[in-house]
Each structure stands twice: as structure tokens, then as C-alpha cells.
Amino acid sequence: MPDMMNAGVSGLLAMQRALDITSHNIANAQTPGYSRQRVELAATQPVSTGDGFVGRGVSVTTIQRSYDDLIASQQQSASSSYSRLDAFASRAQTLSNLFADSTTGLSASLQKFTNAIQGVSNAPTSTAARQVMLSEADGLRQRLQTYDSRLTDIGNEVNASIKSEATTISTLSAGIAQLNQQIVNAQNANGQPPNDLLDARDQKITELASHVSVSVTKQADGSANVFIGKGQPLVLGANGASIVATPDRYDPTRMTLSYQAGNTSNDLGDTLSGGSLGGLLDFRNTLLEPSRNQIGQIAVGLTTAVNAQHREGMDLSGNLGGDLFGIGAVRVLTPSTNAGTGTVAAVRTSVSALTSADYILQYSGSAWTLQRSDTGAAVTLSGTGTALDPFTADGLSLVVGGTPAAGDSFKLQPTATAVAGMSVLITDASKVAAAAPIRTGVVTGNSGSAKISAGEVIDVTVPQLRDPVTLTFTDATHYSINGVGSNLLGAGSNIYYNGWKVSFTGTPVAGDAFTVSANTGGVGDNRNALAISAALNTGLLSGGTESLPGSVTRVVGAVGVATSQAQNGRDAQKLILDQTTSDKDSISGVNLDEEASNMMRYQQAYQASAQVIKMTQTLFETLLAATGR
């Protein structure tokens, strides 16, 4: 009977524990991260008798949670990828909407300015048409600066989000480390897994994965080590590191990240990936900052093309044209960590060779090197860096001075601040240089078939540009200038002189004469207005292969494509995340119907065990009565 009693008591206690766990499952059915628990039962060691082995009941070996490390890891990875794409896509959509507006977008603004120039060429004497051109020039300037200001605002929003993400990651790191310590202590106390603590830790790791990509290594003592980025240990046992947002060493207005563990602090730059933090960094590095630089590059191209041609024209007062647009200078950023007194002065020299990249100029102690900051690719420097022989590379001229120390560096931004410094320099409509400053003529009495072009200004700085010149042919291929000399007609039947070029068609004969002179009173001339319009549509950027409208279309299209790809990727990744979450829930989730069924089953077993105990008591009392005791 003692064996029967023991078996009944063991069953009673085991079912009581099973009912406890079932109740716990039901209570936590809606608790995020909770894994269904179950009681693991095993028959107790039987007793050997002459009749064989007699069992002594049941025992609870452990309380096991329903959890699959592989599926949990897949869910964390899917969560990290989805959060990254979601953070990227939501901000990329803002950028796409800004650029692509059919009324106020970049393409529309540039086209309005081009149409206004065409309006001047159609009516070069019209003050109203000239005023419209200046208004549209200022409107284009305003639109570009609106873009630049909005991109700055978006950059500030990204900075704030990076700070928030760093704080969240550090908080989760501390929480995981604390749970690691609690898990180790609990497991050492009785050798059993502390399931609720394990769930709490896994839930924090899953939440962490939505902010940054993680890898997890479980340890024999029950702790979990968590790594981020390129293997940086965020959590090692009971020790959690912190991620801190700090100002970029080149640009204090740009937030970067540093890794802090104990007394150690390392600059992470933008090496972290995955999760919403990775999405923010990807958006800034691959879309926001490149777009701002590309808008600046377009502004530089616009300014260069319009100014160069406008200077070659003549206004209503007969004066040579000046610059129509002003533009921001190359930005040189000097970090406070530089130990020397080196300086760098940078100017743009070739808009066609100019790129939209930023650069790092570094001094090794004996030589200067240049590399792109986005790819790290080395860029060849020509020259020696002096004022008489500056460094040249990618459309830039660099003059270094002072005494730099080994390791000192500078960040060069050729186009990032160009738009911010943009302005319209002409406010008087009469100053619009729509006419050409020279004109050509034919001397009466020419007998050959030669015809002279209208003339083209090559170098407006030549003082004799508008001096009167008579070109007299001595034969079909030779000519004199103002009756002096004998010059061979150049290739293509071109003549270059006094900063201008004229071309001839047909065949001259000896004595044929043509004139080149100042375009005095040429207020109805529209040649320079036409030339300005043409300059906007010729190959100017990217090595002379891309016009301004083409560049605008490419930039706007690239933003749109990147946005669409991110949105499609996010939607696809959401399906994967939902599937892995469903897979995890099918293993770890609480099924209330199943728990209700278990409760009834355990209740019946509990009642049966109680009956065994009651029957044992009855048999024992019967035995006592039979023996008279």
C-alpha cells in the first residue's frame, strides 16, 4: 500500500503541476514573445520485487518551452530585413514626391526657364520678355534652394532618428545583459531552464533585430552573446555595450555612430546594417546625400553654361553681358582631430569632369592622396598642390598650404553646398545679354560665291573683340586682315581673330571682302539668347555626354526607381516575415482550445489520483479493522 499511496500522491502532484503550467499558458496567451510551456513527465524508478518491477508513480522531469532556435533566427532575420526596407522606402517616397511633381518638380522648373529664354529670343527688344526670363531664373533658383532646404530638413530628421535608434539599441543591450545574468543565476540554482526569463530575453533580441542586424551565439551557462555590424560584440554575458550617436568628425551637423564598451570607444561610421537603423543609414548614404550632391552638380552645370554664354552676349545698352547666376563654392571640411596647421583651398575648374561624389584628401607625412568618400576608390592627383601648380582631379583644383601633420585629412564637397549659395545677379531686364557683340558684313562688289557666318565669340576677354576688321581674299584660300599680310584660310574655312570666329561657305575670289565689327545698335539681335538656350541642351556634364535636362531626368528617375525597388522589396519581405512569424507561432504560440482540452485531461487525471489516495486510505483502514488494531 505504501507504493500505491506514493503512486497516487506522485500523480496528484504531477497533475497539479501540469494544471499550473496550463493555467500559466492560458494567462499568457496574448503576451508578446511568450512560448507555450509543457510539463515533461517520466515514470519514477520502479521497485524490484519477487513478482517483478513495481512502479512507484510519476515525476516531473522539467518544464519545457516550445521553442525552435532556427525558426526564431529566421524570424529575427526577416524582421531585420523588413524594418530596413520599410525605413528606407518611407523616406525615399518623400524624396520621390519632392522631385517628381509635374508642376513644381525639377524638370518643370528647368523647362519654364528654358521657355523664358526662348521668349527673349523671339522678342529680343521686349522688356517684358526679358523680365519674365529673370523671374523664371529666380524661380528656378528658389526651386533648387527649396529642394536643398528640404533635403537638409530630411537629413536632420534622419539625424534625430539615428539618435533615437542608438538609444533604443543601447537600452535593449543593457536589458539583454541583465537577463543573461538572471538566467545564469537561475539555471545555476536548480539546473532547470528559467523559461519566462528565456522568453523575455528572446523577445528583446527579436526587438533588437528590428533595429539592427544581429547574430546570436548561445552559451552553455544559458547566456547569449549578441553581435552587430562587422562582428562588434553588443552583449557578452552580463556585459552590454552601448551605441552612441556622435557628430561626424568632418561635419558636426551629420550624426554618425560610435561603439562604447567600458572605457573603449570606437567609431563605427556607417558600418551597421539591417533593421530600421540600417535603413536610415542606407537611405542617407545611397539616396539622400547623393541626391543633394547631384542637385548641386546640376546647379553648377546650369550656372556654368548660362554664365559662360551670357558673358559672350551684349545687353540693350551695348555692354557685354555679365554672370547671370551666382553659385556656392566648394566646401572644405577640416576635422578638429587634425594635429597640423594644413589648409586646403579648392575651386571647380571643369564642369564636365566634375562628379557628384565627396572626397577625402589625406596627408601621409610625405605625400597627399585623394579618394572618394562613398567608395574609397583612389583618385589620381596631378600637379604639386602649389598656387602655381595646383593639384587637379575630377574637375577640381586644390592648393594646399600650412604645415600638415601625418594623418591629417580634409573632406571636399564639390557640389553639396552649391545650391545654398546660388543667386540671380541681374535684376535689370535691360542687362540681359540677348544679342551678340559682333556682326559680320559683305563689302559691295564681291564677285565670288563665298558667304560669311554671323560670327561667334570665342574669348570675350580679348580687348579688341569689337574692333572693326576687314577680311580681304587675295585668292580662294588666302586673305589679308585690314589690308595687311597673307593668311591661309583655316581648316573648315574658319578664321579666328580678336577673340571671335567666322566661317565661310562657297568660294571667294581675289578682291572679295568681308567685315567683322561691333554690333552697334543691335537691340533686335537674338543670337546670344539662342546660344544660351542651346547651351542648356548640349552635352555638359559627365564628361560632356549629358545635358542638363538629361541629368535632371536621370536624377529624378534614379530616385523613383530606388523608391519603387524599396517598396517592392518591403512588400515581399513582409510576406516572408509574416510566414516566419506564423511558423514560430505554430510552435510557440498558445492554442486556447488545446489548453482547455489539456486542462480537462489533467483535471481528470488529478481526480483519478485523488481516488487512488482515497482507495489506499480505505484499504489501510480495512486492514487495521481486520487485525484489530
- Residue pair 112/414 in contact by the 8 Å Cβ criterion: no
> Are 172 and 273 contained in the same domain?
yes
Task: Return d(Cα 108, Cα 112) in angstroms, integer.
Answer: 6
Residue 395 lies in a domain: no
Q: Which residues of 280-302 are buried (b: 16+ CB within 10 A; e: fewer)?
A: bbbbbeebbbbbbbbbbbbbbbb
Task: Return d(Cα 21, Cα 34) in angstroms, integer.
Answer: 13
Residue 334 lies in a domain: no
With H, G, I as helix, E, B as strand and everything else as coil, classify residue 245.
Answer: strand
> Are 152 and 127 contained in the same domain?
yes
Residue 331 CA: distances (Å) to CA of 20, 54, 155, 359: 69, 89, 18, 11
> Are 220 and 123 contained in the same domain?
yes
The parts of the chain modelled with pLDDT lower than 50 are 1
**How many domains is the chain built from?**
3
Residue 324 lies in a domain: no
Task: Return d(Cα 567, Cα 574) in angstroms, integer.
Answer: 10
Residue 191 lies in a domain: yes
Task: Return d(Cα 137, Cα 239) in angstroms, integer.
Answer: 60
Query: What does 154-175 look like in DSSP terms, one character per residue?
Result: HHHHHHHHHHHHHHHHHHHHHH
Task: Return d(Cα 32, Cα 258) in angstroms, integer.
Answer: 31
- Residue pair 508/497 in contact by the 8 Å Cβ criterion: no
Partners of 47 in the β-ladder: 54
pTM: 0.88
pLDDT (0 to 100) of residue 623: 74
SS3 letters across 47-66: EEECCEEECCCEEEEEEEEC
Partners of 369 in the β-ladder: 362
> Are 119 and 218 contained in the same domain?
yes
Residue 376 lies in a domain: no
Q: Which of 474, 500, 518 is the last residue of a domain?
A: 518
> Are 96 and 154 contained in the same domain?
yes
- Residue pair 230/242 in contact by the 8 Å Cβ criterion: no
> Are 46 and 91 contained in the same domain?
no
With H, G, I as helix, E, B as strand and everything else as coil, classify residue 216.
Answer: strand
- Residue pair 104/111 in contact by the 8 Å Cβ criterion: no
Task: Return d(Cα 450, Cα 452) in angstroms, integer.
Answer: 7
Residue 312 lies in a domain: no
Residue 489 lies in a domain: yes
- Residue pair 221/211 in contact by the 8 Å Cβ criterion: no
> Are 62 and 76 contained in the same domain?
no
* Residue 201 burial class via C-beta count within 10 angstroms: exposed 0-12, middle 13-18, buried 19 and up: buried
Task: Return d(Cα 57, Cα 54) in angstroms, integer.
Answer: 9
pLDDT (0 to 100) of residue 616: 80
Specify the DSSP class assigned to residue 435. Answer: B
With H, G, I as helix, E, B as strand and everything else as coil, classify residue 481.
Answer: strand
With H, G, I as helix, E, B as strand and everything else as coil, classify residue 484.
Answer: strand
Specify the DSSP class assigned to residue 456. Answer: E
> Are 93 and 187 contained in the same domain?
yes
Residue 198 lies in a domain: yes
- The set of residues, in sequence order, having a beta carbon less than 8 Å from that of 396 and lying 6+ positions away, is 330, 346, 347, 348, 349, 354, 359, 412, 414
Q: Is 91 left (phi over 0), alpha (psi -120 to 50) or beta?
A: alpha
> Are 190 and 82 contained in the same domain?
yes
Task: Retrieve residue 266's grid coordinates.
Answer: 570606437
> Are 104 and 58 contained in the same domain?
no
Phi and psi at residue 431, to the nearest 5°: -85, -5
> Are 125 and 192 contained in the same domain?
yes
For residue 18, give its domain range. Answer: 2-66+589-627
Query: What does 346-397 look like in DSSP terms, one character per residue?
Result: EEE--TTT--S--EEEEE-SS-EEEEETTT--EE--BS-SSSSS-EEETTEE
Specify the DSSP class assigned to residue 492. Answer: G
Task: Return d(Cα 581, Cα 602) in angstroms, integer.
Answer: 30
With H, G, I as helix, E, B as strand and everything else as coil, classify residue 440.
Answer: strand
Specify the DSSP class assigned to residue 117. Answer: H
> Are 92 and 153 contained in the same domain?
yes
Residue 422: other Cβ atoms inside 10 A: 22
Task: Retrieve residue 351's grid coordinates.
Answer: 564642369
